[in-house]
Amino acid sequence: MCGIAGAAGKGSEELVKKMLQAIKHRGPDGSGTYSMGDITLGNVLLKITGDRCQPLSNGGALTYNGEIYNFKEIAEKLHVTTDSDSEALFHLLEAKSVDAVPRLDGDYAFAYIRDGKLHLVRDTAGVKPLFYAKNGELFAFASEKKALAAIAMNEIHALKPGHMLTYSAGNFIEKKVTGFATGERITDENIASLALFNAIECAVKKRQYKPCAVAFSGGLDSSLIAALCPEAELYAVGMEGSHDIQHTKKAAKLLGLSDKLHAHELTADEVEAAIPDVIKAIVSSDPLKVSVALPLFFASKAAHGDGIRVMLSGQGADELFAGYKRYESLNAHELESALRKDLENIAENNLERDDAASMANAVELRVPFLDKEVVELALRTAPELKIHNGMRKYILRLAARKILPDELLFKAKKAAQYSSGIYSALLKLAKKNGYRGERAIGRYLSDRLSY
């Protein structure tokens, strides 16, 4: 896990160094650049899998952010001995070119140069961010928007999930290279729940790391991950006396993991002090985004302080299994369409924010529910099994019943910004600072930092 940046055009090496400086929080373990003609790739490294420095080069060149979970199988087929997923990826691209991208099982964003062409690729769900911009003769890309802003690039775009952008001689084309497969519809709840449990168990297992953490709210999604990864430390964040703080203590006890729980009760002063850092990290002062990002920012900060570099999150479960209240009024066809649309937009709406909030503290966020096999099972599962007799996430609850107590299985969902007490705290801070009216929080946050 790390941060990547690159540029094509005059003075690209110095520009890339400036971009890397803007995202150095993503990679405290080293940095490097590599130039090929007027194209420069850069990387700041957070060591997770192997300790190979980047960019890698030998004919072509690669800078990469993410985790390839099947890298050992890839390396074995290529007769390569390595403990580094970046090295396995590089050898695959050198041997098979970018056409080999569909072979990857993981969450990734990378840039690869070969024969004067620059290829940018992003994973199918968009778990790892990648942004790009073109300004006259200069083309640039980076893991975070702020890196592009650091070199005065305007009109910044996100590379679409599952897409590859190829830049050459001042022009670029973008095309889809990976996607989620569809298959035979699953309508039997016993078949669906068993397959789903097995897929989620496998997804959590492949994302485990020692030491590991879970962003824990005590709800269905994070409780299932915690139960499947009992050696992980659980980090819960909320305002003093908030629903999340009270419930996480109870949930951890029900799971037999009370000794793993790190519950941080925030004060208004802590929240106020962190607001500029969070706005700067997620490059937004939108009240909803800030209120959701703040708990994750504090949880990852605490995990980092304890020497943890990997945190698991329940992100994606709501969009796959109909967790939001707004889904309840939809018929089966409408529900299926809404879920597909929300999955397509999850990178922009949630994943980019969460990545920025956790990586501000050099903690890699992993999302088991967005594992390829889990997503494809969810897409095959009949919508009637997702909301059943008015119960949202019905099939996920059935799957989780194998390992969770009923008291956690059927707990009603509360939006994180409200259950943590953060949104209410922001409103009080806005009023304390003289802001009134319907847009009080938005105006208060906008004035806290010009980013």
In 3D space, the residue among 165, 183, 185 whose CA is nearest the CA of residue 175 turns out to be: 165
Percent of the chain, pLDDT > 90? 90
SS3 (DSSP) at 108: strand
Q: In whole numbers, what is the pLDDT of the chain averaged over residues?
A: 94
Mean of pLDDT values over 37-48 = 90
Q: What is the pLDDT of residue 14?
A: 97
Q: What is the pLDDT of residue 216?
A: 96
Residue 411 pLDDT > 80: no
Mean of pLDDT values over 312-318 = 98
Place 419 in a pLDDT band, splitting at 50, 70 and 90.
Answer: confident
Place 451 in a pLDDT band, splitting at 50, 70 and 90.
Answer: very low
Residues 207-221 have pLDDT tens digits of: 999 999 999 999 999
Mean of pLDDT values over 48-59 = 80
For the chain, list the domains and their CATH numbers. 2-176 (3.60.20.10), 189-432 (3.40.50.620)
Asked if residues 321 and 398 have their Cβ atoms less than 8 Å apart, the reply is no
- Distant-in-sequence, close-in-space partners of 132: CB < 8 Å, separation ≥ 6: 120, 139, 140, 141, 142, 148, 156, 157, 159, 165
Q: What is the pLDDT of residue 413?
A: 65
Active site residue 2: yes
Place 52 in a pLDDT band, splitting at 50, 70 and 90.
Answer: low
Higher pLDDT, 244 or 4: 4
408 bridge partner residues: none
Residue 449 pLDDT > 70: yes
Residues 241-253 have pLDDT tens digits of: 888 898 999 999 9
- Please report, as a single letter, which amino acid is at residue 117: K
In 3D space, the residue among 192, 239, 158 whose CA is nearest the CA of residue 382 turns out to be: 192
- Please report, as a single letter, which amino acid is at residue 367: V
Place 301 in a pLDDT band, splitting at 50, 70 and 90.
Answer: very high
Place 30 in a pLDDT band, splitting at 50, 70 and 90.
Answer: confident
Residues 58-94 have pLDDT tens digits of: 999 999 999 999 999 999 999 999 999 999 999 999 9
In 3D space, the residue among 111, 107, 135, 138 whose CA is nearest the CA of residue 123 turns out to be: 107
Residue 450 pLDDT > 70: no
Q: What is the pLDDT of residue 45?
A: 85
Asked if residues 312 and 207 have their Cβ atoms less than 8 Å apart, the reply is yes
SS3 (DSSP) at 166: strand
Place 1 in a pLDDT band, splitting at 50, 70 and 90.
Answer: low
The segment with the largest mean pLDDT, out of 45-59, 233-247, 338-352, is 338-352
- Please give the Cα distance from 120 to 113 (Å, whole number): 9
Asked if residues 448 and 272 have their Cβ atoms less than 8 Å apart, the reply is no
Residue 415 pLDDT > 80: no
Residue with token string 């699953």: 186
Q: What is the DSSP string of 183-238?
A: -S-B--HHHHHHHHHHHHHHHHHHH--SS-EEE--SSHHHHHHHHH-TTSEEEEEE
Residues 391-407 have pLDDT tens digits of: 999 999 999 999 999 99
Q: What is the DSSP string of 2-14?
A: EEEEEEESTTHHH
- Distant-in-sequence, close-in-space partners of 412: CB < 8 Å, separation ≥ 6: none
Residues 342-362 have pLDDT tens digits of: 999 999 999 999 999 999 999
Q: What is the pLDDT of residue 438?
A: 79
Q: What is the pLDDT of residue 46?
A: 82
Place 448 in a pLDDT band, splitting at 50, 70 and 90.
Answer: confident
Mean of pLDDT values over 106-114 = 97
2, 53, 212, 229: which one is catalytic? 2
